[in-house]
């Protein structure tokens, strides 16, 4: 009988110890869950801060580009035009009696024309004038420039649907910059001979598919950080849109862009 009582006591003690151990484990799990939740909240806050910082940098960069373009136009551009008028007058008044001066004035005039053209191109790169013409005209201008510069044929479909669309400057600039970057990547990396751009507008959202017949790209096998891709994805995400990159069929690369056409706050701005 005594042994039975001792056994029951041992069982009771073991059960009590088990309950204590289970309580300690539960408390440790609860603390771990709280720690994970705090870490997740801190990580989410850090990501939101980073996204806000990147958006602020994009905005500041565009503002700085606009300011520099205006200063170049109002100072360097105007001074070059005034200088060209003087050299053109000198070239006009010199002639057979001063052939060497006439020739040198003509060479200076040609150099000035080249410099003025370079300044105009610099201003256009900083602040594309075609943005003032609207969404359709801006995209058509960029696509035509790509075809002329790189001799890569580009089939375009659906872009006429953008003719009557009113879009704010910020998403317009975002779309223009991202399209420019995509076309530049095709010219530099794809080794493509053809490209195609398809535009579709539905439910106040613009979707653009950019395809090439080049060597293709695997995002998982890029040799290093693809800052250009990250920049495009971040720009579109801040505008409430999306960016996807993958293989095209039968070969090449397919990029898909989406962006709201009307004033909408992105999820990060809510």
The full set of domain ranges for the chain reads 1-127, 129-269
1 has pLDDT over 60:
no
145-160, pLDDT tens digit by residue?
Answer: 999 999 899 999 998 8
Q: Angle CA(257)–CA(258)–CA(264) in degrees, nearest 5?
A: 145
CA distances from 37 to 31, 189, 268, 270 (A): 10, 43, 20, 22
Comparing 103 with 31, the larger pLDDT belongs to 103
Res 4: pLDDT: 62
pLDDT 10s digits, 215-266: 887 666 665 567 788 888 888 888 889 999 988 888 899 999 999 876 444 4
pLDDT band at 270 (very low <50, low <70, confident <90, very high): very low
Tell me what the mean pLDDT of segment 3-14 comes to.
Answer: 65
Higher pLDDT, 150 or 1: 150
List all residues 6 or more positions away from 236 whose beta carbon is below 8 Å from its beta carbon.
Answer: 174, 178, 242, 243, 257, 258, 259
Q: How far apart are CA 89 and CA 155, in angstroms?
A: 47
Is 254 in contact with 217 (CB distance < 8 Å)?
Answer: no
Give mean pLDDT, residues 9-26. Answer: 71
Between residues 58 and 200, the one the model is more confident about:
200
Order across the sheet with 153-157: list the strands. 153-157, 194-202, 205-212, 253-260, 242-247
Q: For the domain bounded by 129-269, which CATH number is listed?
A: 3.30.565.10
* Mean predicted confidence (pLDDT) in 104-115: 93
Question: Distance of alpha carbon 199 from its chain centroid, rounded?
Answer: 18
pLDDT for the residue 185: 92
Which three-class secondary structure state does DSSP give residue 209? strand
Q: Locate 168 and state its tokens.
A: 């704010």
pLDDT tens, 177-201? 899 999 999 998 889 999 999 999 8
pLDDT at 230: 84
């Amino acid at each position: 009988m005594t042994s039975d009582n001792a056994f029951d006591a041992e069982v009771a003690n073991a059960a009590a110890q088990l309950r204590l151990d289970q309580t300690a484990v539960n408390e440790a799990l609860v603390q771990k869950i709280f720690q994970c939740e705090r870490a997740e909240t801190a990580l989410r806050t850090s990501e939101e801060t980073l996204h806000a910082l990147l958006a602020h940098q994009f905005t500041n960069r565009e503002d700085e580009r606009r300011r520099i373009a205006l200063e170049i136009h109002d100072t360097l551009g105007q001074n070059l035009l005034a200088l060209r008028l003087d050299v053109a007058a000198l070239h006009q008044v010199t002639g057979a009696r001063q052939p060497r001066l006439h020739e040198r004035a003509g060479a200076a005039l040609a150099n000035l024309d080249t410099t003025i053209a370079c300044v105009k191109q610099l201003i256009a790169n900083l602040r594309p004038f075609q943005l003032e013409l609207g969404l359709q005209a801006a995209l058509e201008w960029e696509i035509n420039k790509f075809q002329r510069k790189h001799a890569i044929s580009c089939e375009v479909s659906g872009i006429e649907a953008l003719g009557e669309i009113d879009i704010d400057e910020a998403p317009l600039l975002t779309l223009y910059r991202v399209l420019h970057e995509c076309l530049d990547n095709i010219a530099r990396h794809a080794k493509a001979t053809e490209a195609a751009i398809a535009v579709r507008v539905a439910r106040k959202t613009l979707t653009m598919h950019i395809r090439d017949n080049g060597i293709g790209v695997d995002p998982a096998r890029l040799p290093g950080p693809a800052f250009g891709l990250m920049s495009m994805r971040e720009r579109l995400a801040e505008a409430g849109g999306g960016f996807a990159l993958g293989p095209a069929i039968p070969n090449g690369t397919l990029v898909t862009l989406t962006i709201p056409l009307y004033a909408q706050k992105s999820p990060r701005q809510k």
